Amino acid sequence: MEHQTTTDEEIQSSTTNKPKKSKAKEIKTPFRLKRYYVFALITIFTLVLPFITISGNQIFLLSFDHQQLHLMGTVFDMQELYMMPFLLMLLFLGIFAATALGGRVFCGWGCPQTIFRVIYRDYIETKLLGMRKRISNKQKEPDYKKHAVKRMIAIGIWTLLSFIAAANFIWFFIPPADFFTYIQHPMEHTVMMGMLLGIVAFLVYDVIFLKEDWCIYICPYSRVQSVLYDENTLQAIYNPGRGGKIYDENKEKQVFKQKDLPEESNECTTCEKCVTVCPTHIDIRKGTQLECINCLECVDACTTVMGKLGKESLVQWSSNSEILEGKKTKFLRPITYMYAGVLTIVMIAMIMMGGTKEYMILDINKGQRLYKIEGKTVSNDYLMLFKNTEPKTHTYKLKVVGKYAGKIQIKRFKEATIKAGKESKEVLILSTTENLSTQKSADSILLVKLRAYSTSEPERVFVNKELSFVYPSTERVK
């Protein structure tokens, strides 16, 4: 539905018989401007992040190609993906906590969909090409027949930007250096090219044709957010006590003109500026609605309208508790403590798990033969798989530690030099000439502690293993 906007003069004249407040309130920096700053920061951060490396590793990279997860410069092998559940828990709990406290604050201030729509609708279509008259009227779609050439230009510009956005997304899965190499040989990297073109096609369809229907009908987050709200959740709220009830109990619109407002003292000018500016095409005066993405454009619009009349905005970024019940918004409440507690526990667990990370991988399997007896020497053989998860070459050695150090020797295996990210299979034979039998007529299983380490960084790159060494019965050794 298209809404008519009332001019500033009409607003002024329509309120001449209303009691005015003493002085015009200073109109604060609009939320729109603040959101633009946040959008710019998020965009720069997201574009730059894949290029920041610590010891050659990205801050975040989930590489299926190299089978690695990079997190804050630390590399985790695919076999060590125990960090992923923690990351996902942090992500979801963080969004839930932000929703309980600030409503759909993520949608209005950080969601890529919102940022992309602002770039396309408000910047490209409105400011750059003049296809739309004003940012403040998002209900009136441009006359695309009249602006056919401009529309093609707008689609062209957005398609180019979509390539950058799609590449940026892929850099969190394929390191930028590899990406730029692969893109020069597209036929050899069809999966990556398919991903790139698929994301671009989606972004063009989503931003130009699907628009806010994504937020209203498709995004799963909009379905769950309302259950996370309570009376202290911050959101865009119209004050019906001051402005007047525009809708009846059945949410049917009752008032079209200011003179029809229920009370003489009601302040809404019925200018509908808060309605025409809304990107999801809702009337916030109806109350909290699923479609509201908390962009606060309606708050800005009413702040401007009411500011000219020396009054506070009728639509505020506040809570139901404050606007409808006149109580102060409680930021520190049980749900805040609960989320803070759970997030802290997950973070501590993640840091502890990260701290126990091993910088090499070693799997050791016992050979098929139980043991070999040659005179007084008893030996066991094993098959080892070394994996170098570091970005540089390491030479690994082994030593027996603990109870059997000096009693059991490494008979076969000297060292293994393995390049970054590579693995190597090696044979290990442990032997002893001492009588370690603990049973007269049955084999004994001895738990031998082994330490594998890098010769260049033995204190950092190491792994401890416990092996079963089978020793024959005293009768058999004789």
Beta-carbon contacts of 198 under 8 Å, excluding residues fewer than 6 positions away, are none
The label of the residue with tokens 């667990």 reads: 349
What token pair was written down for 307?
């500011």
Stretch that binds ligand SF4, among 89-97, 296-304, 346-354, 449-457 (CB under 6 A): 296-304
Which member of 100, 174, 207, 295 binds ligand SF4 (CB under 6 A)? 295
Nearer to ligand SF4, 295 or 360 (CB): 295
How many of the chain's residues bind ligand SF4 (CB under 6 A)? 29
Compute the least distance from the CB of residue 242 to ligand SF4, in Å. Answer: 9
Radius of gyration for the chain, computed over Cα atoms and rounded to the nearest angstrom: 33
Per CB under 6 A, the segment of 54-62, 197-205, 236-244, 450-458 that binds ligand SF4 is: 236-244
Stretch that binds ligand SF4, among 168-176, 293-301, 350-358, 382-390 (CB under 6 A): 293-301
Smaller CB separation from ligand SF4, 170 or 236: 236
Instruction: Give the total residue count for the chain.
Output: 478
Site string for ligand SF4, 238-257 (x = CB under 6 A): x----x--------------
CB 212 to ligand SF4: min, Å: 8
Residues 314 and 306 sit within 8 Å (Cβ to Cβ): yes
Q: Is 302 in the site for ligand SF4 (CB under 6 A)?
A: yes
Encode 132-144: b = buried (16+ Cβ within 10 Å), e = exposed.
Answer: beebbbbbeebee
Helices and strands: H and E segment counts in the chain = 16, 16
Task: Tell me: does residue 292 bind ligand SF4 (CB under 6 A).
Answer: yes
Q: Does 269 bind ligand SF4 (CB under 6 A)?
A: yes
**Ranges of H-type helices in 136-211:** 148-170, 176-182, 190-204
> Quick one: how far is CA 72 from the chain centroid?
15
- Least CB distance to ligand SF4 at residue 260 (A): 13
Is there binding between residue 237 and ligand SF4 (CB under 6 A)?
no
Q: Is 305 in the site for ligand SF4 (CB under 6 A)?
A: yes
Does 105 participate in binding ligand SF4 (rule CB under 6 A)? no
- 196, 228, 268, 323: residue in contact with ligand SF4 (rule CB under 6 A): 268
Place of tokens 């699923």: 290
280 vs 431 by CB, closer to ligand SF4:
280
**Backbone φ, ψ for residue 69 (5° rounding):** -115, 125
**Per-residue b or e along 254-269, where b marks 16 or more CB atoms closer than 10 Å to that residue's CB:** ebeebeebeeeebbbb
Confirm or reject binding of residue 270 to ligand SF4 (CB under 6 A). Answer: yes
Stretch near ligand SF4 under the rule CB under 6 A, chosen from 184-192, 292-300, 405-413, 437-445: 292-300
Q: Which of residues 169-208 bind ligand SF4 (CB under 6 A)?
A: none
Kindly tell me the sign of the dihedral angle through the C-alpha atoms of 126, 131, 137, 140.
negative
Q: Using CB under 6 A, which of 77, 122, 272, 322 touches ligand SF4?
A: 272
Residue closest to 101 by CA, chosen among 292, 335, 326: 335
Rounded least distance, CB 178 to ligand SF4, Å? 40
**CB-based contacts of 4, cutoff 8 Å, min separation 6:** 272
Q: Give Dmax (Cα) for the chain.
A: 115
Q: How far is the CB of 42 from ligand SF4 (least distance, A)?
A: 18
Long-range CB pairs of 311-314 (<8 Å, 24+ gap) are 311/20, 311/21, 311/25, 311/267, 312/25, 314/238, 314/239, 314/242, 314/243, 314/267, 314/268, 314/274
Selected range binding ligand SF4 among 14-22, 298-306, 343-351, 429-437, rule: CB under 6 A: 298-306
Q: Which of 75, 131, 271, 346 binds ligand SF4 (CB under 6 A)?
A: 271
CB of 129 to ligand SF4, least distance (A): 23
Q: What phi and psi values does residue 53 have, to the nearest 5 degrees?
A: -125, 150
Binding of ligand SF4 by 282 (CB under 6 A): yes
Interface residues with ligand SF4 (CB under 6 A)? 236, 238, 243, 268-274, 277-280, 282, 284-285, 292-298, 301-302, 305, 314-315
